Structure 1
Amino acid sequence: MTLEQLHALFIEHPTICTDTRKITPGCLFFALKGPNFNGNAFAKDALEKGAAYAIIDEEEYKTSDRFVLCEDVLKTLQDLATYHRNQSKAKVVSLTGSNGKTTTKELIHAVISQKYRTIATKGNLNNHIGVPLTLLSIKEDIEMAIVEMGANHMGEIAMLSKIAQPDFGYITNFGKAHLEGFGSLEGVIKGKSELYDYLIAHDKFVFMNADDRVQQEKLAPYIKKIGFSTTDHQFYTITFKEANPYVILEAEGTQIKTQLIGRYNFPNCCAAILMGKYFNVPLGDIKTAIESYQPQNNRSQIISKNGHEIVLDAYNANPTSMKAALENFSLMDAKNKTLIIGDMFELGETAAEEHQVLADFTQKLGFDNVLLVGENFFRTQTVAKKFKTFEDLKDYFLKNPVEKGTFLIKGSRGMALERILDIL
């Protein structure tokens, strides 16, 4: 079956499933493989549960015409996504970066959808499977697609750019994330900049944070760009007002009061405003979109529980985002602050050093109470309370009920520190 024929089949059955536990009637099942599973072995089950066709890459599993045999299921899914993207009239905006990708993507979606029929990456489905699935969710009437792209090693953004073929692109920032895969901050910059490489090579348009030195240097010779800045008036100027705790900013004399905490969310809002202006969304509608946006999924949420005020930022963490969150928490006008921070993952050989730096930083900021959780933090030299496991932390709270106060909870996804809400 040719790619064109497969696309015609997809138009007839426009729902993709890759998990037999989530089969919907009439879908196309793509039998993907993983380290511990072979999707081909589940193809028959997918058809029995209601899938219209199963795309497989091992001939022994083909027992009827409802099995579509290809050379490689993953590559076929990616190629189909690119083909579908090119059949669509939608413009694609891709974004990547070390921190703030998902929040920025959701803000851009909120703003752009004020004027255009828009889809965006669901959650953080931003990898070699998630990006194709996002592209394949572009329906005939969609005008704009906001595609988030994540990476933890070199070459990944280049590959995702080739699949998504974006018309526009934005990089949130370059920080100490996924150092295990990228090797160093310089590696992160090079890896994330693969989006710039694609956009420049194909004469596409770039949005930029003109206050970011690295972005300025990378894009200096390139003409097709537009940026925002707090100080440089040759770019679109946006003024930061405060973040105590919520970010308030001003654009063209219009004040925008967000429901996002932390100055680190200011550039995320700026990117959405800049794109809204570029795509001719009225400033009043931009204001409405940003002021209405509420963070979810353990990302910079403020929760009131049993007399405690909790800043829940436990979706993920790396040295750069952790430092920004700690600085912001230190500036919050609140009493009896308790800091609960968990291990940061994927730091490779730098793990011990980066955790020690953060442990020292908490002492420098002078928080009332600091609780460090995880094996990496447990090995640091610090006066803070340390807990090797979450269970140890849980036991501590059960034996030592905490006073009412303000908490910051942050750690990598694998730490699942949101569980602490059930204990407080």
Structure 2
Amino acid sequence: MKPIFIEDVIKAVNGCINNNINTDDIFIKNISTDTRTIKQGDLFIPIVGENFDGHNFIDVAFEKGAIACLSQKDIKTDNIVIKVGDTKDALKDLAIYYKSLFNIPVIALTGSAGKTTTKDMLASCLSVKYNTVKTQGNFNNEIGLPLTIFNIEEDTQVVVLEMGMNHFGEIRELSKIAKPDIALITNIGVSHIENLGSREGILRAKYEIFEYLKPNGIKILNGDDDMLYTLKEDSSRCYFYSVDSTLDAYATNIKEKGIEGISATINYFDKSFNLDLKIPGKHMISNALAVTLVCSILGLKENEIKEGLETFKPSKMRMDIIKVDKYTVINDAYNANPTSMKATLDVLATTKGRKVAILGDMFELGEYSNDMHYDVGKYATEKGIDELIFIGEHSYYMLQGANSNKNSKSNINYFKTQDDFIKDIYNVLNEGDTILVKASRGMKLENTVDKIIRRESNAV
């Protein structure tokens, strides 16, 4: 972070000092909302959540070297405390001020599925040419996004910000902070439909990303998504990418190579290059097309985009291929929704040998949950998966969907809990299996992956 004077912080957050300390020449070196990361010279911002209150740790922050803190409560201390109306709002206001100190392009992206992989893929490509700051981990909310902005340094050349949400208005707030130059939506699925009511509602919520797009900003949209393609007549600067149609960026000569990856020719504007991804799945080509458009607009050449894409490695538990003595595991246990479930089943179906899918509950589907689990279960049998294992209360409807396919040759198992399955895990798996593990984050199916791997000594 570029050091900033406390006086500028006070103005940015519309705050006031708790005592008569002269702060004219005092500056802060970094921002922290967690006392575990506090360093000498930091500004501590205590956040109030449903089950915690950061104000309880203000003394700890000062003991660890914080030079000042914000507070929405009256605090008795001889240290520098800046009183604000709401610390969470102040965090956002400070991020808006800090970002205004830099004149660099900001790319914002959201979507129901694939946004994190697309973000990481985009940062990989941009880093070939530019010093890039990107959202780390799941820092894609009203706390994480400002903290990402504070990672901008004097030599930063471009920023990639992922935006998540589960209610209306959340992406609007994030877009207000980011004020992106380029905004991208990967797709409109059914994640968080419980809170947003319909795919139309999800589209409205995701479309908030454009509300604070710069006046000459650019929109990038997935032309294969039926909801996003309805925006084709948008008169503003808008580009579409597609795996299935010839749009601004499109793919030809697609060749799937099982878990070894996928290749294609990437065509965009008047250019093209051959791409050999080491990550499996047709949806990865879609992500690559989105990335190609953004990178092209920011001045990267074909060979630079190709290099960034082909050297990209996904985050842990996102299409993470793990080979051990007896099995090959596709660890995609980080999260799940119906769209991503089907995409990973498509990948599994292309692999050789016996195919095993261990699938768990998908959350936040509301009144659609039973039908969507049912549909995924039936789809799994249609893809010819040899062994199906469904885990969780909601996944009982996957079981019903799988059993509804009278032509299915899949062996079908159901376990109410992960613990029940783990007790029987080695009776279900055979040597040589390729095993997909996927569920929503709350199911923690990485425990199943760990159980499979721990039996083996030669994970690679």
Name the TM tier (shorter chain): over 0.9
Equivalent residue in structure 1 for 2:358, among 326, 329, 340: 340
User: Which residue number corresponds to residue 257 of structure 2?
Assistant: 244
Quickly say closer, same or farther: Cα 1:238–1:413, change in 2 above 3 A. Answer: same
- Aligned 1:179-194 pairs, distance under 5 A: 179-194=193-208
Larger % of helix: which?
Answer: 1
How much has 1:398 moved relative to structure 2?
Answer: 4.7
User: Which residue number corresponds to residue 217 of structure 1?
Assistant: 230
Further displaced range: 318-327 or 385-394: 318-327
Pairs aligned (count): 421
User: Which residue number corresponds to residue 115 of structure 1?
Assistant: 129
Per-residue displacement from partner, 1:258-288 (whole Å, max 9, x unpaired)?
Answer: 1221111111111111112111212111111
Quickly say closer, same or farther: Cα 1:210–1:375, change in 2 above 3 A. Answer: closer
User: Which residue number corresponds to residue 278 of structure 2?
Assistant: 259
How much has 1:213 moved relative to structure 2?
Answer: 3.6
Quickly say closer, same or farther: Cα 1:423–1:236, change in 2 above 3 A. Answer: closer
Matched-pair identity in %: 34
Letter in 1 for 2:435: F
Per-residue displacement from partner, 1:67-120 (whole Å, max 9, x unpaired)?
Answer: 222111100000000111112112111000001111111111111122222111
Q: Distance in 1 between matches of 2:253 and 2:170?
A: 34
Matched, 1:106 2:124: no
Per-residue displacement from partner, 1:196-245 (whole Å, max 9, x unpaired)?
Answer: 34438x44211223343432322413231233345655623432512322
How much has 1:417 moved relative to structure 2?
Answer: 1.1
Q: Distance in 1 between matches of 2:328 and 2:25?
A: 48
User: Which residue number corresponds to residue 411 of structure 1?
Assistant: 439
- SS of 2:274's partner is strand
Q: Distance in 2 between matches of 1:114 and 1:268?
A: 18
User: Which residue number corresponds to residue 42 of structure 2?
Assistant: 27
Give the CA RMSD over aligned residues.
Answer: 2.2
Letter in 1 for 2:208: E
- Aligned 1:127-138 pairs, distance under 5 A: 127-138=141-152
On the 8 A contact 2:392/2:415 being kept in 1, the answer is yes
Q: Distance in 2 between matches of 1:239 and 1:307?
A: 36
User: Which residue number corresponds to residue 165 of structure 1?
Assistant: 179
User: Which residue number corresponds to residue 369 of structure 1?
Assistant: 387
Quickly say closer, same or farther: Cα 1:94–1:401, change in 2 above 3 A. Answer: closer
Mind listing any 5+ residue stretches in structure 2 that lack a counterpart?
A: 1-5, 13-22, 404-411, 453-460
Equivalent residue in structure 2 for 1:235, among 248, 272, 277: 248
Letter in 2 for 1:137: N
How much has 1:127 moved relative to structure 2?
Answer: 0.5
Q: Distance in 2 between matches of 1:114 and 1:34?
A: 39
Matched, 1:42 2:42: no
Letter in 1 for 2:359: I
- Aligned 1:148-159 pairs, distance under 5 A: 148-159=162-173
How much has 1:11 moved relative to structure 2?
Answer: 9.5
User: Which residue number corresponds to residue 358 of structure 1?
Assistant: 376
Quickly say closer, same or farther: Cα 1:149–1:58, change in 2 above 3 A. Answer: same
- SS of 1:261's partner is coil
Quickly say closer, same or farther: Cα 1:227–1:9, change in 2 above 3 A. Answer: farther
On the 8 A contact 1:247/1:259 being kept in 2, the answer is yes
On the 8 A contact 1:240/1:266 being kept in 2, the answer is no
Further displaced range: 67-76 or 202-211: 202-211
Per-residue displacement from partner, 1:298-344 (whole Å, max 9, x unpaired)?
Answer: 001111022211111111001111122212322x1311111100110
On the 8 A contact 1:298/1:313 being kept in 2, the answer is yes
Instruction: Compute the TM-score of the two structures, normalised by the length of structure 2.
Output: 0.86
On the 8 A contact 1:314/1:411 being kept in 2, the answer is yes
Q: Distance in 2 between matches of 1:52 and 1:354?
A: 52
Quickly say closer, same or farther: Cα 1:129–1:11, change in 2 above 3 A. Answer: farther
Equivalent residue in structure 1 for 2:140, among 108, 126, 130: 126
On the 8 A contact 1:210/1:216 being kept in 2, the answer is yes
Per-residue displacement from partner, 1:152-174 (whole Å, max 9, x unpaired)?
Answer: 11111111111111111000111
- Aligned 1:266-415 pairs, distance under 5 A: 266-330=285-349, 332-378=350-396, 380-381=399-400, 382-383=402-403, 384-398=412-426, 402-415=430-443
Quickly say closer, same or farther: Cα 1:410–1:50, change in 2 above 3 A. Answer: same
User: Which residue number corresponds to residue 84 of structure 1?
Assistant: 98
Letter in 2 for 1:54: C
On the 8 A contact 1:95/1:147 being kept in 2, the answer is yes
On the 8 A contact 1:398/1:423 being kept in 2, the answer is no
Q: Distance in 1 between matches of 2:170 and 2:387?
A: 40
Mind listing any 5+ residue stretches in structure 1 that lack a counterpart?
A: none
- SS of 2:296's partner is helix
Q: Distance in 1 between matches of 2:41 and 2:35?
A: 13
Q: Distance in 2 between matches of 1:10 and 1:385?
A: 67
How much has 1:350 moved relative to structure 2?
Answer: 1.9
- SS of 1:126's partner is coil
Q: Distance in 1 between matches of 2:137 and 2:248?
A: 31
Q: Distance in 1 between matches of 2:54 and 2:25?
A: 19
How much has 1:124 moved relative to structure 2?
Answer: 2.1
Quickly say closer, same or farther: Cα 1:338–1:229, change in 2 above 3 A. Answer: closer
On the 8 A contact 1:89/1:142 being kept in 2, the answer is no
Q: Distance in 2 between matches of 1:295 and 1:359?
A: 26
